[in-house]
């Protein structure tokens, strides 16, 4: 009998032991010294990041054992654990996602052929399964020793970013350097997160810039989180730490569907759908020249007063983000009178246009809150291309087929009235508050153009001008001319905005639009 009792270590077969040893080696990253350096920079390790991002114990790694082929330029004798990137699928808030996490401790997270193939495979799996892709980027860019294979690897990723665009949500978190052409993968994704102090994105570094143009800068001023969230608009979300970043990504995903064939998940309503707001009524009594933050209106309307803002620091004259109305995700775009009087400019058009297109691609209904005096004037805007770039928001709204509900709160002047999801470009339900001013332009400007001679010839020009302004205001500066023509479906009391919107979006849930058959439109990019 005793001869048949196997020693305890034989419980794990030799084959399994070999597998375990291979796994251990591949999971060791760049070793303890490199890990220490990573931590000293305030950065987490690639696998720690995934653990913090996804649901506990849900990560299934793919291609752990994949290795580089190249032996050029000193690569021959080197073992690069997991080829510097951890890839796999997991769950976030119970829903499937695909993730890749570049490991800076392994040759600076540089991207060689195997590294790129791993990312491509996980993106292909995401598209097959209809699951969002999240890239955690921390890399010195193309692995120099692998030459054109790394460039080709990047291009394969870019190609997949574009194939996946509008099919599954794509999110990039920049958790270290992201330089050169490598920036174009995040740029092709839907949302870019950066961390204050540790994330840097740029095409050419400070030294190259100095030698090429003589301009001085450091990594932070060139391509840090503040630069890209405020100036360039590359970054949609800034986080104070990696923990904060992963928390924000998890929250963002809650508002999104898994793919373009699904709707965002409904959540249990946390607020009274019939809730009226006296505060909103006070906005209609406000001096039309006074500014206010559009956020105050959005918070009043939203379930639980919660607004998940996108692109908060960039083009603050327009505001975009997600709310819930009676438990359903709604994308909100609103002019923000607190900045540039809420006028549209290049930044606002690009920010709003991209957000509208995201919502349309992923079946997220759109609420548009209008308080816009027009386009922001000036040579900088004209020479900067406001004609071509301003057309982006217009194009995006015209093309969007998701349910679109618009509320004109106050000003809706000129071309900006048309652009902001007006009835004419197929807003489904268009409301206006009694304080709405829908006209070609404001009274002062209109009177000065139309009655220049008459005012000049008058014995009392100031009085004559004021009389004309009052007449114009009486005739045009209201929602009623638009309502009489059916361009506004209903003039509503501001206090009843939330219940009205909930009913309108509920009614529109079944909306279907057949698109004309064509290859694709030609958006003014």
Q: Which residues are catalytic?
A: 180-181, 415-416
Q: Dihedrals φ, ψ of 313, to 5°?
A: -85, -10
Using the contact rule CB under 6 A, the part of the chain among 178-186, 412-420, 449-457, 472-480 near ligand HXC is: 178-186
In contact, 237 and 246? CB cutoff 8 Å: no
Dihedral over Cα of 19, 22, 28, 32: its sign? positive
> 79 or 507, CB closer to ligand HXC?
79
Q: Does 181 bind ligand HXC (CB under 6 A)?
A: yes
**Member of 50, 126, 142, 369 binding ligand HXC (CB under 6 A):** 142
Choose one: 142-150, 161-169, 387-395, 479-487; the region binding ligand HXC (CB under 6 A). 142-150
Q: Nearer to ligand HXC by C-beta: 34 or 467?
A: 34
CA 406 to chain centre: 21
Q: Does 143 bind ligand HXC (CB under 6 A)?
A: yes
Distance of closest approach, residue 177 Cβ to ligand HXC, in angstroms: 4
Query: SS3 of 408, please?
Result: strand
Ranges assigned E (strand) in 216-315: 237-239, 308-310
Q: How far is the CB of 85 from ligand HXC (least distance, A)?
A: 13
Q: Is 410 a residue that touches ligand HXC (CB under 6 A)?
A: no
Contact call for residue 108 and ligand HXC (CB under 6 A): yes
Name beta bridge partners: 328: 325
**What stretches of 362-442 show up as alpha helix (H) in DSSP?**
379-384, 386-399, 414-419
Tell me what percent of the chain is helix, strand and coil, each rounded to the nearest 5: 45, 20, 35
203 lies in the binding site for ligand HXC (CB under 6 A): no
Tokens of 517: 């058959």
Q: Is 154 in the site for ligand HXC (CB under 6 A)?
A: yes
What is the per-residue burial (b if ≥16 Cβ within 10 Å, else e) of 98-120?
bbbbbbbbbbbbbbbbbbbbbbb
| Helix (H/G/I), strand (E/B), else coil: 111 | strand
Q: How far is the CB of 205 from ligand HXC (least distance, A)?
A: 7
User: 140, 352, 373, 499: which one contacts ligand HXC (CB under 6 A)?
Assistant: 140
Q: Tell whether residue 180 is a contact of ligand HXC (CB under 6 A).
A: yes
> In this complex, which beta carbon is closest to ligand HXC, that of residue 78 or of residue 261?
78
Confirm or reject binding of residue 151 to ligand HXC (CB under 6 A): yes
Note whether 342 binds ligand HXC by CB under 6 A.
no
CA 305 – CA 271 distance, rounded (Å)? 9
Please state, in angstroms and rounded to a whole number, the distance separating the CA atoms of residues 77 and 74.
7
Phi, psi dihedral angles at 212 (to 5 degrees): -85, -40
**Interface with ligand HXC, residue 107, by CB under 6 A:** yes
Number of residues that bind ligand HXC (CB under 6 A): 15
Residue closer to ligand HXC by CB (options 181, 524) is: 181
Among 144, 217, 230, 391, binds ligand HXC (CB under 6 A): 144
Choose the binding region for ligand HXC from 104-112, 125-133, 310-318, 402-410 (rule: CB under 6 A).
104-112
Distance CA 317, CA 173 (A): 25
Q: Give the footprint of ligand HXC on this chain (CB under 6 A).
A: 107-108, 110, 140-144, 151, 154, 177, 179-182
């Amino acid at each position: 009998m005793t001869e048949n009792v196997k020693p305890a270590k034989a419980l794990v077969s030799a084959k399994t032991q070999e597998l375990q040893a291979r796994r251990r080696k591949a999971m060791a990253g760049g070793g303890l010294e490199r890990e220490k350096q990573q931590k000293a920079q305030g950065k987490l390790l690639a696998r720690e990041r995934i653990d913090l991002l996804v649901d506990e114990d849900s990560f299934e790694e793919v291609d752990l054992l994949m290795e580089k082929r190249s032996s050029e330029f000193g690569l021959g004798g080197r073992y690069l654990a997991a080829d510097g990137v951890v890839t796999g699928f997991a769950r976030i808030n119970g829903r499937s996602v695909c993730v890749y996490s570049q490991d800076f401790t392994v040759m600076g997270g540089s991207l060689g052929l195997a590294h790129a193939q791993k990312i491509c495979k996980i993106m292909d799996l995401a598209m097959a399964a209809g699951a969002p892709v999240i890239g955690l980027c921390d890399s010195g860019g193309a692995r120099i020793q692998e030459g054109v294979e790394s460039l080709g690897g990047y291009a394969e990723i870019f190609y997949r970013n574009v194939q996946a665009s509008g099919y599954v949500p794509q999110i990039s978190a920049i958790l270290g350097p992201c330089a050169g052409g490598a920036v174009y993968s995040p740029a092709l994704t839907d949302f870019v997160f950066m961390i204050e102090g540790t994330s840097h994105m740029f095409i050419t570094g400070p030294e190259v810039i100095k030698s090429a143009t003589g301009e001085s800068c450091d990594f932070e001023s060139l391509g840090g989180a503040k630069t890209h969230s405020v100036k360039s608009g590359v970054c949609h979300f800034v986080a104070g730490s990696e923990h904060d970043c992963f928390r924000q990504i998890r929250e963002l995903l809650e508002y999104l569907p898994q793919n373009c064939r699904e709707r965002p998940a409904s959540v249990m309503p946390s607020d009274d759908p019939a809730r009226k707001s006296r505060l909103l009524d006070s906005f209609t009594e406000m001096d039309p020249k006074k500014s206010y933050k559009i956020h105050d209106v959005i918070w009043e309307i939203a379930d639980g007063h919660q607004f998940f803002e996108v692109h908060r620091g960039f083009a603050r004259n327009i505001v975009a983000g997600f709310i819930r109305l009676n438990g359903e995700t709604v994308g909100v775009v609103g002019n923000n009178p607190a900045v540039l009087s809420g006028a549209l400019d290049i930044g606002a058009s690009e920010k709003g246009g991209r957000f509208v297109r995201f919502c349309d691609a992923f079946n997220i209904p759109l609420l548009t809150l209008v308080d816009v005096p027009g386009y922001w004037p000036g040579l900088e805007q004209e020479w900067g291309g406001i004609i071509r770039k301003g057309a982006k928001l217009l194009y995006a709204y015209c093309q969007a087929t998701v349910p679109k509900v618009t509320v004109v709160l106050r000003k809706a002047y000129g071309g900006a009235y048309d652009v902001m999801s007006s009835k004419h470009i197929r807003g489904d339900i268009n409301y206006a508050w009694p304080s709405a001013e829908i006209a070609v332009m404001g009274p002062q400007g209109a009177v000065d153009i139309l009655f220049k001679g008459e005012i000049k010839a008058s014995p009392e020009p100031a009085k004559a001008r004021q009389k004309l302004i009052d007449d114009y205001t009486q005739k045009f500066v209201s929602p009623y001319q638009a309502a009489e023509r059916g361009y506004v479906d209903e003039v509503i009391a501001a206090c009843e905005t939330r219940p009205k919107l909930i009913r309108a979006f509920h009614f529109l849930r079944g909306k279907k639009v057949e698109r004309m058959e064509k290859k694709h439109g030609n958006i003014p990019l």
